Amino acid sequence: MLVKDRSKSLRIKKLEVFQRRLIQNHPKLLTISDELGGRLAGHHGEQSNDYFLKPFLSKGYSVLHDLRLAANDSFFQIDTLLISTRYILILEIKYITGTLHFDHLNQVIRARDDGSEEAFQNPIYQVKRQRSQLTDWLSRNRVPNIPIHSLVVMSNPRTIIKSLPSHKDVLQYVTHSPYLQERIQVFEKMHSVEKLTKKEITKLSKLLVRQHTPDNPDLLKRYQIEEKDIIKGVYCTKCFYMPVVRKYGTWYCSKCSLKSMNLHLPTLDDYALLYGTSISNKEACDFLQISSRHVATRIFSSMNLPYIGSGKGRRYQLQLPI
């Protein structure tokens, strides 16, 4: 059963807002585009790996994607978690191009087609650490002892993995997506004793979802982006032109002729991602580029948003687009 689906992270969504709204020739635009491209490639790699998990959704497994859980004073993240009555499996999914060399120093070196090389954090250490952190988390939450396994899954079928014959961890922990089902079947044969009931799995799954804390980085601060660098206005969701204009309660795009009454909704999502979920009438007029505070009030009223305060001090509470 799919308990928690996979979605774009808040980081990716914020980077997409920057790419859409940063002024032309901004000095950070290329860096942002590079980061966004890398993170989208990883996200698509994770999505492609989900195909190989479909047979297990109807076999009594609970599957949760994109978990971020508290660990002492920090957090740890799990790309995909499979929970069965007999064991738990952590999957760390990597979408990497080129050839990966796991050397005798436990380094991972990527060799590109152009001959350049790049060092990576060893993902085997990463999944071992995740296993330890999840073990502690389960103990703190009084979950019955259950075996935990972890795998590094290469979702790019063209990734070549090379290692020394003595580096047995690579054989144990690293696989490609098409072979994931076979590896899971090995774990099933290893564990025949039920450690959790179906009721306990349901309870654990709900607890994991409840304690999941999405990462919400301050990318404005990280990239030192000022308000003057942001293009304001409602954008067209069809051709991404902005600003569209509002006429008689309807938004109209002069470029592609799209008409919609609700184009302000994704733009308010942009505001929440950039500046937070609290917004005043004046701030809405400025960001949506509308001249009438009465129009902003009608928009908020139609959205039935919660608010605090009254008069000019009223602040409406948006929701993050998670």
Of 47, 43, 39, 49, nearest to 175 by C-alpha is: 49
Please state the rounded mean pLDDT for residues 177-197.
Answer: 95
- Domain membership of residue 221 (yes or no) is no
What pLDDT, on the 0 to 100 scale, is given for residue 320?
A: 93
Q: What percent of the chain has pLDDT over 90?
A: 83
Residue where a domain stops, chosen among 211, 240, 259? 211
pLDDT in tens, 91-147: 999 998 888 988 766 778 888 777 788 888 889 999 999 999 999 999 999 999 999
Same domain for 32 and 131? yes
pLDDT in tens, 258-271: 999 999 999 999 99
Same domain for 153 and 42? yes
At 73, list the tokens.
């004073």
Same domain for 166 and 283? no
What is the DSSP track for 40-72? HHHHHHHHHHHGGGHHHHTTT-EEEEEEEEEET
What pLDDT, on the 0 to 100 scale, is given for residue 192?
A: 92
What pLDDT, on the 0 to 100 scale, is given for residue 184?
A: 96
What pLDDT, on the 0 to 100 scale, is given for residue 9?
A: 96
* Alpha-helical runs (H) found in the chain: 10-21, 29-50, 54-57, 123-140, 168-173, 180-190, 198-211, 219-222, 264-275, 281-288, 293-303
Same domain for 186 and 68? yes
Same domain for 183 and 296? no
- Domain membership of residue 227 (yes or no) is no
Q: Does the structure show a pLDDT above 90 at 311?
A: no
Burial of 270 (0-12, 13-18, 19+ CB in 10 A): buried
What pLDDT, on the 0 to 100 scale, is given for residue 107?
A: 78
- Domain membership of residue 322 (yes or no) is no
Helix axes 281-288, 293-303, angle to 10 degrees: 100
Position of tokens 């590079």?
Answer: 34
CATH code for the domain of 237: 1.10.10
Domain range enclosing 253? 232-317
Report residue 226's pLDDT band, with 50, 70 and 90 as the boundaries: very high
**Strands 117-120 vs 148-154: parallel, antiparallel or unpaired:** unpaired
Q: What is the dihedral of CA 264, 269, 273, 274, to 10 degrees?
A: 0
| Rg of the chain (C-alpha set) | 24
Same domain for 207 and 239? no
Please provide the average confidence, as pLDDT, over all residues in the chain: 94
User: Residue 92: enclosing H or E segment and its boundaries?
Assistant: strand 88-94
Same domain for 290 and 143? no
Position of tokens 């497994």?
Answer: 61
Per-residue DSSP letter, 178: G
Same domain for 271 and 160? no
**Strands 259-260 vs 278-280: parallel, antiparallel or unpaired:** unpaired
- Domain membership of residue 130 (yes or no) is yes
Please state the rounded mean pLDDT for residues 181-189.
Answer: 95
At 177, list the tokens.
């997506």
Dist. CA 106–CA 29, nearest whole Å = 35
Cα torsion 105, 107, 108, 110: sign: negative
- Domain membership of residue 308 (yes or no) is yes
pTM of the predicted model over 0.85: yes
Please state the rounded mean pLDDT for residues 161-185.
Answer: 90
Count how many domains the chain has. 2
Q: Does the structure show a pLDDT above 90 at 90?
A: yes
Which letter, b or e, does each residue of 125-141 get, where b requires 16 or more Cβ atoms within 10 Å of its Cβ? Answer: ebbeebbebbeebbeee
Please state the rounded mean pLDDT for residues 150-162.
Answer: 93
Same domain for 185 and 257? no
CATH code for the domain of 204: 3.40.1350.10
